[in-house]
Amino acid sequence: MNTPKLWRDYIPSYKRKANNFKKSIDKANEVYLKLIRDRKQEIDRIPIDEQLNSDALTMLLTVNTPRDITTRISDNNHTRPMSEEEILGNVFEIISGGVDSVLLRMMSVVPIIFRMSHRDDKISGHQFSGQTQFMLNTYGIHHNKEHWINPEVFNPSPFGGGSRMCPGKQLAMTIIKTLMVLLYRKYDVRLSDMNAPIKYHFSILRHCDDLNVILKPIFQDL
């Protein structure tokens, strides 16, 4: 569904949320743009004959340039370097991803996503004009029984790889697992109440309000 411009501009509750959302996005874009520009300057200072690190940001910055570190990514339809706007969009998805997909399906960090069309388009027989804002109910999509068998059940089997898989997933999972190992080797970690529901609320992001755990040190004879 699309949020009418009249609502965003004149209904106080929608206007306030829209303004707060825009401020959050602008701040995030500012931070990510600095990250991109700083890395580009670092690459420019590295001698041309020196090997660049094979990280996701360097890949995005160098694809289809003389310092391209990618392999088998470009094709006849993608022969130019990526623009700063395109890199920003990819960085936004990489940084906001990187955790297990099935967990995001069951409890989306961002239950509602806003997107805006850049040009007139026709989707499933419906005509949309440019600059139309869309509100995507990701939580509802991920729990729709027409598309998921037992949507409330933890089942990672439908998820795998593909072109839309987060490039930072493996690094994020490695960091998470390392943190868990360091934590669990020293503490016995349990929920204070196994039957208590998770208390949370969401504005743009889902926020956990109360998740009490008990940490009990593990003493081992060395």
Is residue 131 situated within a structural domain? Answer: yes
Report helix, strand or coil for 176.
helix
Report how many domains make up the chain. Answer: 1
Is residue 101 situated within a structural domain? Answer: yes
Is residue 156 situated within a structural domain? Answer: yes
Report helix, strand or coil for 10.
helix
The span from the CA of 112 to the CA of 135, in Å, is: 7
The span from the CA of 171 to the CA of 52, in Å, is: 18
Residue 38 has pLDDT above 90, yes or no: yes
Q: Which residue segment(s) compose the domain that 137 sits in?
A: 5-169
Neighbour tally for 58: CB within 10 Å? 19
pTM above 0.75, yes or no: no
Q: Could you report the per-residue pLDDT of 55-81, keeping only the tens digit for each?
A: 778 888 888 888 887 765 555 556 788
Is residue 176 situated within a structural domain? Answer: no
The two tokens of residue 97 are 């991803």
> In which band, very low, low, confident or very high, does the pLDDT at 143 lie, cut at 50, 70 and 90?
confident
Is residue 143 situated within a structural domain? Answer: yes
**b or e along 183-219 (b: 16 or more beta carbons within 10 Å of the residue's beta carbon)?**
eeeeeeeeeeeeeeeeeeeeebebeeeeeeeeeeeee
